[in-house]
A = this chain, B = another copy of it.
Amino acid sequence: MNFKKDRFYVTVDAVVFTILDNELKIIIIRRKNPPFKGYFALPGGFVELDENLDGAAERELKEETGVENIFLKKLKPFGKVGRDSRGRVITIPYLAIISGKNVKLHSTCDAELARWYSIYNLPKLAFDHKEIISYALNKLRSEIEKSNIAFQIIPKKFTLTELQRVYEIILNKKLDKRNFRKKLSELLILKELPETKMEGAHRPARLYSFRLREYKKF
């Protein structure tokens, strides 16, 4: 790409969370090209002139992860003069959370193979991506307390213990089992399934599904 100094460029960056190995992780790529060549960064790219912002975010996410039809939340833009040495670049971060289990991370022309990094152990990052991630993490935490965004990361059928673990890992704190279940049952968002899940030498756990699979604020 041939950068001109007389215009704006608009990028989208995706802060894609998942839970792997009981840790909250995000996708980080390693940059192949300047600026910040060799540095780690959020996956992202330039918005096309005839492309909506949401569309660009969906496209980028698809390229990196193969994941489609996911809820993407637009965040406030970051656009300080000088944040990108190539020119004046405004970036629009998107927040997503996906079930990482089956995702195959691809390399792209601009980035070496994407990898999952623990949110608590990030490498040094290009641009202002550290700041963006920190902002997105706060948003994720407030979002999960006020919406059913958690369904994005959980399998169709799940046990209450599994769901609680998702909340605990995202919020980074222990929750009380009975209080957690009480609140859930008041919200009426779960459907009890006629199946159970056996795992190990103990009582099998009831399986549930979300009543509404769509994104919904409580």
Contacts and interface: CB of A to CB of B under 8 A. Distances in A.
Contacts of A199: none
Interface string A82-123: 000000101010000000000000000000000000000000
Contact of A53 (B5, B10, B53, B90): B90
A119 to B, nearest CB: 22
A88 B77 CA distance: 17
A76 B75 CA distance: 6
Contact of A6 (B10, B49, B79, B88): B49
Contact of A52 (B47, B49, B80, B92): B80
A77 B92 contact: yes
Given A76-B75, A76-B76, A90-B90, A8 B6 contact: no
A53 B76 CA distance: 11
Contacts of A53: 77, 79-80, 90
A9 interface: yes
Contacts of A88: 49-50
B51 A81 contact: yes
Nearest to A4: B7
Interface residues of A, number: 22
A62 interface: no
Contacts of A32: none
A130 interface: no
A10 B91 CA distance: 12
Contact of A81 (B50, B75, B80): B50
Contacts of A90: 8, 10, 53, 90
Interface in A45-80: 47, 49-53, 74-77, 79-80
A51 B49 CA distance: 22
A44 B50 CA distance: 23
13 contacts: A5-B49, A7-B8, A7-B49, A8-B49, A10-B10, A10-B90, A50-B88, A51-B81, A53-B77, A76-B77, A77-B77, A79-B92, A90-B90
